[in-house]
């Protein structure tokens, strides 16, 4: 299950508590504070703390020239200007902290974003839960023939059934051997007092990458949006993309003006090289341009045509 009984009790207590503060709070984010948003079969993301909002971005941007409070429409325009011109510092004034439960192989992708503070559960100290990720049938796909790190056609029939069976059998066997090597129950008492168990730091190496881990992940708004721009992209691996999609919804609640600018200029926009910009100018002038005339490589040319909604 996504949350164990102790976690559910803790979240219920946190949700019932209310603390007066002079700090800026965001009602829409307060509505889901501490709640676990389900992801995949056993995972979740939940906001456990945050600092700042859209007003903090505006305040940071205007501090250098000491301007006072402006209208909401002007604040929105300023945020869009900052996003459009890649001014990152004002967005770094806001921070957010998540508690995330995710498969280990997703965590290994995620940790490559080295712009956050992370504290992961330690299997040297704790016994990991018997929970592992099994893809939905629609996510079982063969290796792509054109993309070395992507998926191709969905597996069907006996091929899909065999893969599902192997995934489940291997995970169940791995956890069974893990528990046997530990020789201890959840309280740390020996299951079989007549034999010694293997140290947790060694027994853990038997678990496969689809087992779930948990961590706290804290980052600022600027780096949070950098993460989302890569991981909420349609080209990202499905298993990390669904986490990013859930967190994109959190961004909409937390800093709606920044989220709108992010969607418009980052998620919905495109960056062109000087060669690509030259091609666009020639097209606007009514000139027909081929790849050979563009000075661009095949991959960049194909990407530019896709961006412009044209056939390569």
By the 8 A CB rule, do 90 and 60 touch? yes
User: What is the rounded distance in angstroms from the CA atom of residue 254 to the CA atom of residue 258?
Assistant: 9
- The pLDDT tens digits for 172-218 are 999 999 999 999 987 788 999 999 999 999 999 999 999 999 999 99
Buried b (16+ CB within 10 A) or exposed e, 9-23: eebeeeeeeeeeeee
**What DSSP string describes 225-250?**
HHHHHHHSSTTS-HHHHHHHHHHHHH
**3-class secondary structure, 188:** coil
Whether 231 is a known active-site residue: answer: yes
Quickly state the pLDDT bin for 133 (edges 50, 70, 90).
very high
Evaluate the CA torsion angle 281, 282, 285, 290 in order and state its sign. negative
Which pLDDT score, from 0 to 100, does residue 23 have?
Answer: 87
Instruction: Say if CB 32 and CB 253 are below 8 A apart.
Output: yes
Distance CA 21, CA 23 (A): 5
pTM: 0.90
Q: What pLDDT score was predicted for residue 4?
A: 80
85, 175, 189, 197, 264 from 204: Cα distances, Å: 47, 9, 18, 12, 44
Strand order in the sheet with 117-120: 37-39, 43-51, 95-103, 212-220, 117-120
| Residue 143 pLDDT > 90 | no
In DSSP terms, 95 is beta-bridged to 51, 220
Q: What is the residue-wise DSSP string for 57-71?
A: HHHHHHGGGT-----
Backbone φ, ψ for residue 193 (5° rounding): -60, -15
State the catalytic residue, choosing from 46, 231, 241, 263: 231
Can you state the percent helix, strand and coil of the chain, rounding each to 5? 50, 15, 35
Pairing outcome for strands 37-39 and 95-103: unpaired
User: Is the pLDDT assigned to residue 152 strictly greater than 60?
Assistant: yes
Q: How many CB atoms lie within 10 A of CB 107?
A: 20
Model pLDDT for residues 51-82, shown as the tens digit of each residue: 999 999 999 998 755 555 566 678 999 999 99
Query: Is the CB of residue 220 less than 8 Å from the CB of residue 92?
Result: yes
Q: What are the backbone dihedrals phi and psi of residue 119, each rounded to the nearest 5 degrees, phi first?
A: -135, 110
| Number of other CB atoms surrounding residue 171 within 10 Å | 20
The pLDDT of residue 22 is: 85
Give dist(CA 265, CA 85) in Å, integer: 10
pLDDT tens by residue, 74-131: 899 999 999 999 999 999 999 999 999 999 999 999 999 999 999 999 999 999 999 9
pLDDT for position 297: 93
Could you tell me how far CA 117 lies from the centroid of its own chain?
14
Task: Report percent pLDDT > 70 for the chain.
Answer: 96
**pLDDT attached to residue 69:** 52
The total number of residues shown for the chain amounts to: 312
């Amino acid at each position: 299950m996504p949350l164990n009984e102790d976690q559910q009790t803790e979240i219920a207590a946190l949700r019932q508590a209310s603390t007066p503060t002079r700090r800026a709070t965001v009602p829409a984010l307060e509505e889901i504070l501490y709640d676990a948003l389900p992801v995949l079969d056993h995972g979740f993301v939940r906001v456990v703390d945050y600092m700042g909002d859209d007003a903090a971005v505006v305040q940071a941007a205007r501090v250098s020239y000491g301007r006072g409070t402006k209208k909401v429409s002007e604040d929105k325009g300023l945020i869009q200007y900052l996003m459009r011109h890649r001014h990152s510092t004002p967005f770094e004034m806001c921070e957010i902290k998540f508690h995330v439960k995710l498969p280990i192989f997703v965590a290994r992708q995620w940790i490559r974003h080295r712009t956050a503070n992370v504290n992961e559960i330690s299997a040297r100290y704790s016994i990991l839960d018997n929970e592992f990720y099994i893809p939905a049938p629609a996510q079982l796909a063969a290796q792509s023939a054109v993309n070395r790190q992507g998926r191709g056609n969905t597996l069907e029939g006996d091929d899909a059934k065999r893969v599902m069976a192997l995934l489940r059998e291997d995970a169940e066997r791995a956890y069974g051997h893990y528990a046997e090597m530990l020789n201890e129950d959840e309280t740390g008492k020996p299951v079989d007092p007549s034999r010694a168990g293997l140290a947790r730091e060694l027994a853990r190496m038997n678990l496969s990458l689809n087992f779930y881990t948990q961590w706290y992940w804290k980052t600022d708004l600027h780096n949070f949006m950098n993460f989302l721009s890569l991981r909420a992209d349609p080209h990202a691996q499905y298993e990390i993309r669904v986490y990013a999609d859930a967190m994109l919804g959190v961004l909409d609640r937390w800093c709606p003006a920044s989220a709108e600018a992010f969607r418009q200029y980052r998620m919905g926009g495109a960056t062109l090289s000087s060669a690509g910009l030259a091609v666009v100018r020639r097209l606007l002038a009514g000139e027909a341009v081929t790849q050979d005339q563009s000075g661009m490589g095949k991959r960049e040319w194909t990407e530019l045509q896709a961006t412009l909604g044209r056939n390569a």
